[in-house]
Structure formats: structure tokens, C-alpha cells
Amino acid sequence: MLERLVEGWLDSASERSYQSPFCQALLAKGHRVIHSTRHAPLELGKDVVSIDSEGRYFGYQLKGSPGARLTLTEFRTIREQLHELATQPLRVPGSRVPRHTSVLVTNGYVDEEVQIAIQEMNQALRRQRAIGYPLKIIQRGDLLDDFLKLGASLWPSELEDLDTLLRLLNVHGRDALNISDFASLMEQLLALNDSASRPSQGELERRVTSASLLVAFVLRAHAREENHVARLQAWTLFFVQVVGAYARWNHKPRSRIGAALDIARYECFRSIRELFEEAASRERWIEQPATADVFLYRWREALTSGLLSAYWLIGQRAGGLSEEDSARLREVIPERLQVDLWGEAAIPQLLGKL
């Protein structure tokens, strides 16, 4: 059943949705992920860059073709990007410019005609001794194998857990994350519940990978709606619970776990950044249907302001926020909040704003 669920998720995931699980899978296979971002001009055509355990470099270009085929027509539209991927060197610290293997990753099937076109492209790349030769393909079946082996095979599978999992999946993407259900699954997976026995270092590492895939899986509906806050909540909870699990069992996190947490941290910042961009682009923060929003507007305003204030504060302390962003944030966050102290959860939001 879990296999079918994961298959369903992969067949509906955009490239953004499966980028983090893909990176986590690379980590589990012994790679170091040295770059993972989207639309950054610094790494031409490369969404992800990794180094395997033998020191070989890989540059990946991710494409979302959920449940569909990558046809020759579509391939022609990305051919230029793939050429950049295979011919532009990686920018890595140090003077050496490493050769790399280029990889086209898609969650769809690759048409035979495309495979032939890639073979021809590879012949040309070999002749010109391109720095990113050869160009390889990772497609739906490969991704599914990895996600099942590294992720779903460790997920809790008792009837009660499946019930919780289905409840988490059966939500509207515009709804908040069901934190209680989500935390309960993660606690089991990361051996944080009362009845858990001590996992070995390796076992806990495998569980962290599996948990990170669960995060992406559970966020399926929220990803479709670009629900930034649900994504932020899930990755924050993942981060805290992984740290908690290592503290509880007194294991020292190795670099692989540090990298997994880095990806989670990156997802948190990406979510809050996107929330900021959306809040800044909107003339009003009212969500439809507007009449029912009369009950929720102040809650949304307090929560959004609190999160953006936290983002500003972290940016000030860590120095990662540009002057321009800092000024824009000050403009976006309402100067005066209409305070609705609807419960204790509202207090941090209001304090954040203060």
C-alpha cells in the first residue's frame, strides 16, 4: 500500500517537490550535496551538485514531468539547458576545475526518441571533450526505487499509523499541517516515542533519511497550493525532532546528518522567503471567500507578521539579509497589529512582531 502511495506522490510531484527528497537520497547513498537551489545563475543549468564517496562530481538538472512522458518536443525545449549542464564547469572552491557527470533527472518516463537524442548528444559531447560528459538520465523508475528503499520501507506501517498517514494525506492543500498527526509519525520513525529502543548510529541515520522523505510525501497537497507555512512547519518539526533524536540516544551527528539538516534548514528559509515574496506582492492579505475571512484575517496577519519579523531578526543577526530586503520587509510587516489573543499559540507571533 505504501508503495502505491509513494508512486501516487511521485506521479504528481513538481520538480520543486521532489528536489529535497532527491538530495536526501543522494546523501543516503554516500554523496555530499554541495549545491542545491533553484534558478540560481551561479550554477548554469545545475539544480543540484554532488560528490560521491570516490570524489567524482555530478551536476543534476531536475525536470518535473509528473506521471507523463518526456517527449522529443519537450526535450528540445530543455536541450539548451542540458548543453549548459554538460559544457559549463562547476564552480567549486579551490583552483581545480573538476570534470563532472551530467544527469537529467525526471519523475516522468523518458521516450525512446529522447534516449536516442541523448545518445547522439553524448557522441557530440565526447568529440568536443565536454567537461560534463557523459549526460545520463535518472527517470521515474530509478527515483521510485530509491524513495521506496530509503524512505517508505522504514515508515511506520501498523494499521493505526497508516490511518494517521492517510489522514495527513487526505487534506486540502490550503489547510494547515496537522501537527499532532505529523509529530506522532515522526516520533515513531525517529525513535522518540516512549516505547522505542535505542537505534544504532547507522540505523538512526537511515531513519533520518526516511523521515525526510516522509516530510516531502506528507506535504504533497500543500506543495500543490504553495502553502509556505505548512512547509515551514513540517521542515522545522523535522529539524527539531532529528536534533532531539540524536540528543536522546546520545549519538554524535556525523556529516551526513549535518547535510540532511542543512537541506531542512534550506527548505525552512525557502518557505519563509516565498511567504515574504507573496506577502510583498499582494495588495491585500485577504483570502477567498472574503466574507468568511472576517473571522480569520487577524489570525493570518498576526501569523504572517510574526514569521516575517522572525525572518528579519534572523537576517539581522546572521547577516544574510540584504539592505534592500530588510527595507522591503519593514514595509511589508504592518506597523500596527490588531491584536486578537485567541490562544497561547498567538503569543509568539505577537512577540515576534514586537
Partner 1 sequence: MLPDLHRTKEDLNLWLKAFFAARLKTHMGAFGESPKETLQEGHGTAIVRPDGTVDRTSMRRASGESTVRNESIKAGDLGAVLKSLDEAAQQMGRQIAAHAYKEISDAADRVGNTVSTNGFTADGFLAALEVILVPFTKDGEPIWPQCHIPPSLAESAKTALETVANDPTYARRFAELKQEKRKEWDAREAGRRLAG
Question: Which residues sit at the interface with partner 1, rule CB under 8 A?
Answer: 172-176, 225-229, 275, 278-279, 282, 284-287, 289-301, 303-304, 338, 340
Beta bridge partners of 58: 50, 101
With a CB cutoff of 8 Å and minimum separation 6, the contacts of 78 are: 61, 63, 104
Cβ 242 vs Cβ 260: under 8 Å? yes
Nearest in space to 10 (alpha carbons), one of 108, 79, 93, 91:
108
Rounded to a whole number of angstroms, the minimum distance from the CB of residue 173 to partner 1 is 8
Nearer to partner 1, 1 or 296 (CB): 296
Which helix or strand (DSSP H or E) is residue 224 part of? helix 220-224
Nearer to partner 1, 4 or 284 (CB): 284
Nearer to partner 1, 117 or 337 (CB): 337
Rounded to a whole number of angstroms, the minimum distance from the CB of residue 281 to partner 1 is 11
Rounded to a whole number of angstroms, the minimum distance from the CB of residue 301 to partner 1 is 8
Nearest in space to 166 (alpha carbons), one of 41, 333, 5, 277:
5
Nearer to partner 1, 103 or 177 (CB): 177
Nearer to partner 1, 286 or 327 (CB): 286
CA dihedral 62, 68, 73, 76 (to 10 degrees): 10
Residue found by looking up cell 542543512 in the block: 262
Residue found by looking up cell 564547469 in the block: 89
Rounded to a whole number of angstroms, the minimum distance from the CB of residue 306 to partner 1 is 10
Nearest in space to 313 (alpha carbons), one of 302, 304, 326:
326
Nearer to partner 1, 80 or 278 (CB): 278
Nearest in space to 141 (alpha carbons), one of 113, 106, 176, 117:
106
Helix axes 15-28, 201-218, angle to 10 degrees: 170
Nearer to partner 1, 129 or 284 (CB): 284
CA dihedral 93, 97, 100, 105 (to 10 degrees): 50
Rounded to a whole number of angstroms, the minimum distance from the CB of residue 125 to partner 1 is 42
Rounded to a whole number of angstroms, the minimum distance from the CB of residue 305 to partner 1 is 11
Nearer to partner 1, 189 or 279 (CB): 279
Residue found by looking up cell 549526460 in the block: 135
Cis amide prior to 156 (ω within 30 degrees)? no
With a CB cutoff of 8 Å and minimum separation 6, the contacts of 18 are: 10, 62, 64, 107, 143, 216
Nearest in space to 217 (alpha carbons), one of 151, 172, 284, 157:
151
Rounded to a whole number of angstroms, the minimum distance from the CB of residue 76 to partner 1 is 34
Nearer to partner 1, 280 or 327 (CB): 280
Rounded to a whole number of angstroms, the minimum distance from the CB of residue 171 to partner 1 is 8
Rounded to a whole number of angstroms, the minimum distance from the CB of residue 338 to partner 1 is 7
